[in-house]
Amino acid sequence: MYDVIVIGAGPAGMTAALYAARTNLKVLLLEQGAPGGQMNNTAIIENYPGFFSIKGPELANKMYAPLVNFGVENRYGVVVEVKNLAKYKVVITEDNEYQTKTVVIATGASHRLLGIRGELDYGGLGVSYCAVCDGPFFRDKVLVVVGGGDSAIEEAVYLTRFASKVMIVHRRESLRAQKIIQERAFANPKISFFWNCIVDEIEGDDHLVTGVRLKDIKTGKYMEINCSGVFIYVGLYPMTAPFINLKIMDDSGWILTDEEMRTKIPGIFAIGDVRKKMLRQITTSVGEGGIAGQQVYLYLQDKKEV
């Protein structure tokens, strides 16, 4: 029987595990991939205090390293369900079951698909959702980036390290991204913009992407653009499918909590990108992890279980 099982080892989950372990609780951290979450897919992080600039995977390693020292047990596991029984909770993975007094959900969010023709056909053949992973394959090539948020604009700037030209396609005429990120993109000679446009179809030669068909949504006109790759950054959806039976989500699937990270089920907490909230960042995830780690301890103390 664990005191707490933390599901997801992104910045939120790693911090919750650290805080809980430092109160001497028995902590299991379950992760379905490499520890670090979205930080592993981020080239450079410039807004995490203490660092002018740090590579995402490097920050992930720095957050992970102290966990073992403080006694956090780390295991691989794809969580498929959580059961809330009268006396304890059960976390079910694809190949195991664990009993625990409390659960912290920190499963984050994943990239949304555009849902257009060619997107699935050319996945890994020119269509990508991760500039850090795939950018180096496009040296001296022409790329299209779709979206107008922080991810699209920041990753477009990163892609100019490799590509000869990056064209950003955005459905409106102003960007959602932070101003400092926008300014870098506007100042970059390799970047150009297609405003008020959507990608209607990703085209290829049956092996690789060869271009996109754009639609100008103001004029209704179509344009053909040649490119070798299409990077899609059109937002996120919450990774909450394993928790549907708990009924702790809003209509769009984001988990609802109070300021102490408590869901409506006693002993089940949620933190980080998976929560319904305004600002999805590493700093906010880490802060919520700290709150949840402490709240788990207070909850168990209140029930005289520690």
Among 121, 130, 200, 216, the active-site one is 130
Under the criterion CB under 6 A, does residue 130 sit at the interface with ligand NAP? no
Under the criterion CB under 6 A, does residue 236 sit at the interface with ligand NAP? yes
Which phi and psi angles does 194 have, rounded to 5°?
A: -115, 105
CB closer to ligand FAD, 211 vs 255: 255
Minimum CB–partner distance for residue 257 and ligand NAP (Å): 17
Under the criterion CB under 6 A, does residue 198 sit at the interface with ligand NAP? yes
Q: CB pairs under 8 A, 24+ apart, for 300-304? A: 300/3, 300/25, 300/101, 300/102, 303/101
Neighbours of 256 (CB within 10 A): 14
CB closer to ligand NAP, 77 vs 148: 148
Task: Find which of ligand FAD, ligand NAP, none residue 256 binds, CB within 5 to 8 Å per kind.
Answer: none
Contacts to ligand NAP from residues 139-168, by CB under 6 A: 146-152, 154
| One residue of 64, 98, 233, 297 binding ligand NAP per CB under 6 A | 233
Q: In Å, how far are 148, 166, 215, 218, 302 from 188, measured between CA atoms? A: 16, 10, 25, 26, 56
Among 3, 95, 133, 216, the active-site one is 133
Counts for the chain of helices (H) and strands (E), in that order: 6, 19
Under the criterion CB under 6 A, does residue 190 sit at the interface with ligand NAP? no
Distance separating the N- and C-terminal Cα atoms of the chain: 12
Active site residue 130: yes
Task: Find which of ligand FAD, ligand NAP, none residue 147 binds, CB within 5 to 8 Å per kind.
Answer: ligand NAP
Under the criterion CB under 6 A, does residue 288 sit at the interface with ligand NAP? no
Put residue 17 in one of left, alpha, beta given phi > 0 → left and psi -120 to 50 → alpha: alpha
Binding mask 39-58 for ligand NAP (x = CB under 6 A): --------x-----------
Closest CA to 257 of 37, 29, 104: 104
Burial class (CB in 10 A: 0-12, 13-18, 19+), 53: exposed
CB closer to ligand FAD, 40 vs 204: 40
Under the criterion CB under 6 A, does residue 114 sit at the interface with ligand NAP? yes
- Sites of contact with ligand FAD (CB under 6 A): 7-13, 30-33, 37-39, 41-42, 45, 47, 77-79, 106-109, 151, 155, 239, 242, 272-274, 280-283, 285
Which phi and psi angles does 72 have, rounded to 5°?
A: -75, 130
Report the alpha-carbon distance of residue 161 to residue 54 in Å, rounded: 17
Q: Three-class SS of residue 105?
A: strand
Active site residue 134: yes
Task: Find which of ligand NAP, ligand FAD, none residue 79 binds, CB within 5 to 8 Å per kind.
Answer: ligand FAD
Contact in structure between 176 and 149 (CB atoms under 8 Å): yes
Minimum CB–partner distance for residue 147 and ligand NAP (Å): 4
Among 3, 121, 134, 227, the active-site one is 134
CB closer to ligand NAP, 3 vs 155: 155
Active site residue 133: yes
Strand partners, 223: 214
Report the alpha-carbon distance of residue 301 to residue 99 in Å, rounded: 18
**Active site positions, annotated:** 130, 133-134
